[in-house]
Structure 1
Amino acid sequence: MSKVFVVEDDASLREELARLLDLQGFTCETTVEYDAAVDDIIAAAPDCVILDLKLPGVSGHAICRGLRTRSDVPVIMLTSSDSEFDELMSMNLGADDYVTKPYNPAILLARIQSVLRRTARSESASSITHRGVTLDLAKSEVKFGERTVELTRNEFKILRLLMENCDTIISRQELMNELWQSDAFIDDNTLTVNINRLRKSLEKAGVTDYLITRRGQGYLV
């Protein structure tokens, strides 16, 4: 049974979420001590966190930032803000998804299941190897020969998706969905920047001509 930790200051919404999760077979924990939310989440060891962006005394961004220094637990931001900046900021801080209020309960549950599946997929194996390149899933490191290079969160996500689907073209839209769960508000250049950073990290590991571009189609390894 998966555990979901909800950080939401609206009592009625918090209770509604708890009931919804309970009906779907999840264990749900909450907190109203927002300044101590990171410690409470770490202590609870949940499988997923639903985190409101605007909280009294502390922002959801600050909690997400603090959480990411100590855990890779999936985080879904839940907020009434439709600001593109807030969404980009959340994803850059390491959030896995971003859902705006009012939300469709079925959609929120689908998002939770999606991040849980991705987490389970990552934990099912310790590494992926293709064409002599090894991706360490636990350490977010790429290894080639005697060299090891640590990847950023986005570099890791891109390379993992490509290696899990080796010899298959992955479209830019698929990559954007993997990184941000949406391509609606993401500048197309943002993905290009991340791809270029990944190429440079691969070059540091001594890997060249590994990430292949298919013009108008996408990328593959």
Structure 2
Amino acid sequence: MKIFIIEDDKVLRTELIKLLGSYGYECDYSENWQNITQCVLKAAPDLILLDINLPQFDGFFICREIRKQSEVPIIVVTSRNTDMDELMSMNLGADDFVTKPYNTQILLARIASILKRSTATTVSDSIEYKGVNFLQAKGVVSYCNSSVELTKNEIKILSVLYKNAGRIVSRDELMDELWKSDEFVDDNTLTVNVNRLRKKLEDIGVKDFISTKRGMGYLI
């Protein structure tokens, strides 16, 4: 299991890496604060430990940006311990909130618990169709030895298509699903998202997976 540590205090980060490494976890981190969200998504970790007080962007902003594209578990680990800090963290999509200084065994227990739940969800949420494996919980599509991460809207589109594999799904049906998010979705937005999804699938060798049925909708 890979854990990405977003912590600017080098001493604390080093201690965390040593602690987690001794329990068999692979650790990753970056000091590229300007592009930290992209670094995290590219690393594709199984869990993130996120501080709030950081250079460039605070942890709240980073949590929100990650949640736009990934459902990877996030534990906020911070010295800020007000109820408002915890409430904001959870509202932005964090899975847990741990205050510093923390008991290492409690932190390890919470990590193990969240990873266990996440792994169980991912296993049950795995769908395969025509050799293309879709991990909905992680928003990852795999084919042969290649994989690609999807955005929130791409995940929703592919989820609907997989649930209706072999049946034409109308554009209205897909837009109804996308409308459940906070983003404005119109006919052109759907077209753009479907085209991006097709391009990502082609990049990992999956061609002509999503068919357009003119005047009707899409089909896999």
Deviation for aligned residue 1:126: 3.0
Report the alpha carbon displacement of residue 124 of structure 1 after superposing the two structures with TM: 1.7
Separation in 2 of the partners of 1:72 and 1:8? Answer: 20
Q: Give the superposition deviation at 1:38.
A: 0.6
Q: Deviations over 1:170-197 (max 9, x none)?
A: xxxxxxxxxxxxxxxxxxxxxxxxxxxx
Structural mapping, 1:24-103, within 5 Å: 24-103=23-102
| Structure 2 partner of 1:217 | none
| Rounded Cα–Cα distance in structure 1 between residues aligned with 2:122 and 2:8 | 32
Aligned to 1:114: 113
User: Equivalents in 1 of 2:2, 2:123: separation in Å?
Assistant: 19
Cα displacement (A) at 1:137:
6.1
* SS of residue paired to 1:71: coil
Question: In the comparison of the two structures, how many residue pairs are matched?
Answer: 141
| Consecutive unaligned residues in structure 1, runs of 5 or more | 128-135, 153-221
> Of the two, which has the highest radius of gyration?
2
Partner of 2:77, secondary structure, is strand
Counterpart residue identity of residue 13, structure 2: R
Match of 2:20 in 1: 21
Identity %: 45
Return the alpha-carbon distance in structure 2 between the equivalents of residues 30 and 107 of structure 1. 22
> Displacement of 1:90 after TM fit?
0.6
Classify the secondary structure of the residue corresponding to 2:124. Answer: coil
Partner deviation per Cα, 1:179-219 (whole Å, 9 max, x = no partner): xxxxxxxxxxxxxxxxxxxxxxxxxxxxxxxxxxxxxxxxx
Q: C-alpha displacement at 1:35, in angstroms?
A: 2.0
Deviations 1:7-65 (A, max 9, x none): 10111100000000110001001111222111111111110000101112210001111
Structure 1 outlier segments of 4+, above 3 Å: 136-143, 146-152
1:104 is matched with: 103
Write the distance in 2 (CA, Å) between the matches of 1:115 and 1:126: 16
* Secondary structure in structure 2 of the residue aligned to 1:55: coil
Q: Is the 8 A contact 1:125 1:137 kept in 2?
A: no
TM-score where L is the length of structure 1: 0.58
| Equivalent position amino acid for 2:65 in 1 | G
Who is 1:165 aligned against? none
Match for residue 145 of structure 2? none
Q: Distance in 1 between matches of 2:82 and 2:3?
A: 25
Distance 1:108 1:126 in 2: 27
Counterparts of 1:67 and 1:96, CA distance in 2: 13
* TM-aligned CA deviation for residue 125 of structure 1: 1.5
